[in-house]
Structure 1
């Protein structure tokens, strides 16, 4: 379960308004400000998205699967075998589902770092940006969020030309990391409502 608790934080990219003492210690350039605003606008305009993901943690544990996002507040990440897990948000919190045991574990939405990336409007400047690094092709934006487990940081890597998010790494207070990459994404899709539901026969389980 520990792996999937950290996975939830890593795979739900949203924008939090929580500010910590670790703030950006320099003035952003006009070009950086412009790019970040364009990234915010680009992702705010995306109502539905699907694609594939690869997830890798500090211990070398690898997982992959398919994800679906439908704003506002709906997401589903289905891990491929041998995993039997899914992570689903139906707008009232996140659930870790076990397809074999037919169980669900509720993970309150307010406990998920960066949870507001699923909202209608995204503004990266309403987050606690701690670092920005730019190359000719990519821009990396690091932000931090105060959570029940302490200060969690996320570094997101965007393609400057397309403004697409390609990868992000979440770091916990103890240094544990999860890197999450997405590919084969599409926004030309109409995701069925049933994809964001919890089966009625799944029993609740404790942590």
Structure 2
């Protein structure tokens, strides 16, 4: 189901600065790595708004595209392209999965979804549970692990070393399925209409566990 894959992808992205959980002790980061990670954290914290497109590819090779909008602190909208009518919206009081076709919504408390961390004013990657780090000439990859609402998740975040931007992440969910999520056509510090973070109060609330 699209919504489950999407929720897992969102959880993966936003494990960015969740407090570390007990795992096998990773190697100590070098001074150069610490400096680069701090630069990336500071760069992304300084971005107040973002808008762009995303491409999601699952283990079976299924491709789903859509658009996203982020406004710090606390607001986000991820919307799939047609024929999907689903999206996720947060206005700082929880995360709502919206089905515009069925006119339904279901909510997750803000403190139960790792997405809240990426939406805060300050991002601190060094506070996350980094279990692996890899570099090429162009990219830095950080693999993080954390407990999320769907269980223990591993996610590899890929940053462009020159721009310090997040360009991709690869999620491995508790069942072992892999999901790659790539960002493109990203614009930063743009005006986002207030209506983009509107949740229709007439939509019927449903139980997310059913």
Residue 100 of structure 2 is aligned to residue 123 of structure 1: no
| Distance (whole Å) between structure 2 residues aligned to residue 113 and residue 173 of structure 1 | 15
- CA offsets per residue over residues 60-101 of structure 1, 9 Å max, x none? 232111100000011001110111111101111111111111
1:31 aligns to what SS in structure 2? helix
RMSD: 1.6
Question: Does 1:16 find its partner at 2:27?
Answer: no
Give the deviation of 1:114 after TM superposition: 5.1
Preserved contact between residue 10 and residue 179 of structure 1 (Cα < 8 Å): no
Unaligned residue ranges in structure 1 (runs of 5+): none
Q: For 2:91 and 2:115, how far apart are their aligned partners in 1?
A: 16
- Structure 2 gaps of 5+ residues are none
Partner Cα distance (1:5, 1:188) in 2: 25
Change (3 A) 1:147 1:41: same
Q: Which residue of 1 aligns with 2:8?
A: 6
Residues 1:21 and 1:13: Cα distance change in structure 2 (over 3 Å) = closer
- Normalising by structure 1, report the TM-score: 0.92
Shifted more, 122-131 versus 185-194: the winner is: 185-194
Offset, 1:4: 3.4
Distance in 2 between residues matched to 1:169 and 1:190, nearest whole Å: 29
Residue 88 of structure 1: aligned partner: 89
Residue 171 of structure 1 and its aligned partner are, at CA, apart by: 1.3
Q: Deviations over 1:87-139 (max 9, x none)?
A: 10111111111111111111223332353011001111111111110111100
The answer as to whether partners of 1:113 and 1:145 remain within 8 angstroms in 2 is: no
Cα distance in 1 for partners of 2:157, 2:4 equals 22
Secondary structure of 2:184's aligned partner? strand
TM-score (ref. length: structure 2): 0.91
Conserved? CA contact 2:47–2:189, under 8 Å: no
> 2 CA distance for matches of 1:8 and 1:192?
22
Count, aligned residues: 206
- C-alpha separation between the residues in 2 aligned to 1:145 and 1:82? 33
Whether the aligned pair in 1 keeps the contact of 2:15 and 2:128 (CA below 8 Å) is no
Measure, in 2, the Cα distance between the counterparts of 1:58 and 1:115: 26
Q: Distance in 2 between matches of 1:113 and 1:182?
A: 19
DSSP-derived class of the 1:20 partner: coil
Structure-2 separation of matches of 1:98 and 1:179: 23
